[in-house]
């Protein structure tokens, strides 16, 4: 089936576009009253994620309400640890929490390599969403990068430093590689399943890339991201988003990914210099959307001009914060759609 709006896919592949596509990380989320209303129908976050009808509903809301050029499936990166045998809870106003964490070799041996069938609720949500979208815009699938999932599986919750997870890397490098390999295999199975279920492009979220040194990042994170890119990029375009790791842009550009997600700590021109001919995605500071309309228009236009029209996907440098006014988000989207390069 032909997509009516395939700007995102053309931009990711480096093909010509009339204008840059725009979508926003965490567009399916609490900034929309409609999201909050749908979420209230589920007992808790996990039940929400596991309900294909509800997941489909909130995935499509931002396409209708914000006018973005893509839908990203409503789910979470933590579904993989769960499918491998480590269930989690999402604690209100606090974030993820795991009752059991990985501490030793036995814990790693006991983890299962997840298959797409173990995440059938995500596959169902994807098939339903693909059908309901009716080819209006591309559907983005995603997974956490192995290092970011490892960090939660060892730490058991969010953390400023992820020092337990890093302690494991320093003291048990071999076991660390065993666990990262298991997560990588699970992620490849999962993302291949997402492609069969209909996703048009996938993104890897390495949210905790920034807590590692450059050397550790290549050894414990990028190595595994690269394997996932090699397995998936022959099927669909792949975007790698490594938060706070702009030092790694050049090395990321040497993988088989199609596009590189950037946070706001790197300047567009600097990122262009180090990223070869890869497509770049980003990178407005979400806090820009607290500013006046005039400021939002000015800064967004400067960013669009700096990245240029080709090989560019407009986005924020990280997810929307829940208290951002949805009218400001609509303005951001409108500025991108009306910009003349
Ligand atoms: O719109 C989208 O971007 C798609 C859906 C999506 C969610 N989580 C839904 C969600 C995506 C792509 C994610 C990825 C995710 N989940 C990441 C990587 C991206 C990033 O933000 O760095 C991470 C680290 C997680 C883990 C996670 N999930 C945390 C730390 C939290 C709690 C923080 C918070 O914002 O409350 C979540 C919960 C979560 N995942 C929410 C949403 C919409 C909010 C929960 C709610 O509705 O109460």
Which structural domain range is residue 184 located in?
Answer: 7-338
Report yes or no on 40 lying in a domain.
Answer: yes
Identify the active-site residue in 35, 88, 152, 312: 152
pLDDT tens, the chain, 341 aa long: 689 999 999 999 999 999 999 999 999 999 999 999 999 999 999 999 999 999 999 999 999 999 999 999 999 999 999 999 999 999 988 999 999 999 999 999 999 999 999 999 999 999 999 999 999 999 999 999 999 999 999 999 999 999 999 999 999 999 999 999 999 999 999 999 999 999 999 999 999 999 999 999 999 999 999 999 999 999 999 999 999 999 999 999 999 999 999 999 999 999 999 999 999 999 999 999 999 999 999 999 999 999 999 999 999 999 999 999 999 999 999 999 999 98
Residue 139 CB contacts under 8 Å (≥ 6 apart), including other chains:
59, 70, 71, 72, 73, 126, 129, 130, 133, 198, 199, 200
Domain count, the chain: 1
Report yes or no on 205 lying in a domain.
Answer: yes
Find out whether 181 and 221 touch, Cβ atoms under 8 Å. no
Running DSSP on this structure, what letter comes out for residue 320? P
Report yes or no on 281 lying in a domain.
Answer: yes
Q: What is the pTM of this model?
A: 0.98
Ligand 1 centre to CA of 26 (Å) is 7
Report yes or no on 34 lying in a domain.
Answer: yes
SS3 call for 78: coil
CATH number of the domain that 140 lies in? 3.20.20.210
SS3 call for 8: helix
Phi and psi at residue 204, to the nearest 5°: -100, 125
Report yes or no on 69 lying in a domain.
Answer: yes
Report yes or no on 1 lying in a domain.
Answer: no
Find out whether 334 and 16 touch, Cβ atoms under 8 Å. no
* Residue whose CA lies nearest to ligand 1 atom number 44: 29
Report yes or no on 2 lying in a domain.
Answer: no
Report yes or no on 36 lying in a domain.
Answer: yes
* Residue whose CA lies nearest to ligand 1 atom number 22: 207
Residue 30 designated active-site: yes
Residue 152 designated active-site: yes
Ligand 1 centre to CA of 298 (Å) is 29
* Residue whose CA lies nearest to ligand 1 atom number 8: 76
């Amino acid at each position: 089936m032909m997509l009516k709006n395939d700007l995102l896919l053309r931009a990711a592949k480096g093909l010509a576009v009339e204008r840059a596509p725009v979508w926003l990380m965490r567009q399916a989320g609490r900034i929309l009253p409609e999201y909050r209303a749908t979420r209230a129908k589920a007992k808790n976050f996990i039940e929400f994620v596991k309900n294909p009808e509800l997941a489909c509903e909130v995935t499509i809301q931002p396409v209708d309400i914000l006018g973005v050029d893509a839908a990203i499936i409503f789910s979470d990166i933590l579904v993989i640890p769960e499918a491998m045998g480590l269930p989690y809870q999402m604690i209100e106003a606090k974030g993820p929490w795991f009752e059991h964490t990985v501490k030793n070799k036995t814990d790693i041996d006991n983890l299962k390599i997840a298959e797409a069938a173990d995440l059938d609720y995500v596959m169902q949500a994807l098939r339903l969403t693909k059908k309901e979208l009716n080819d209006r815009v591309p559907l983005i699938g995603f997974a956490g990068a192995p290092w970011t999932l490892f960090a939660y599986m060892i730490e058991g919750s969010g953390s400023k430093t992820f020092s337990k997870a890093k302690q494991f890397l320093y003291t048990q490098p071999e076991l660390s590689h065993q666990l990262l390999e298991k997560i990588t295999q699970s992620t490849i199975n999962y993302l291949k399943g997402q492609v069969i279920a209909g996703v048009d492009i996938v993104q890897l979220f390495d949210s905790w890339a920034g807590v590692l040194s450059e050397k550790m990042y290549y050894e414990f994170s990028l190595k595994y991201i690269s394997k996932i890119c090699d397995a998936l990029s022959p099927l669909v375009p792949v975007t790698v988003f490594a938060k706070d790791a702009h030092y790694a842009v050049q090395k990321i550009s040497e993988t088989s990914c199609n596009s590189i997600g950037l946070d706001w700590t790197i300047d567009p021109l600097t990122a262009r210099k180090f990223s070869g001919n890869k497509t770049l995605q980003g990178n407005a500071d979400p806090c820009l959307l607290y500013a006046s309309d005039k400021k939002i228009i000015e800064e967004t236009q400067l960013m669009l001009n700096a990245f240029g029209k080709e090989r560019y996907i407009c986005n924020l440098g990280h997810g929307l914060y829940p208290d951002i006014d949805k009218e400001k988000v609509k303005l951001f989207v409108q500025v991108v759609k009306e910009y003349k390069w």
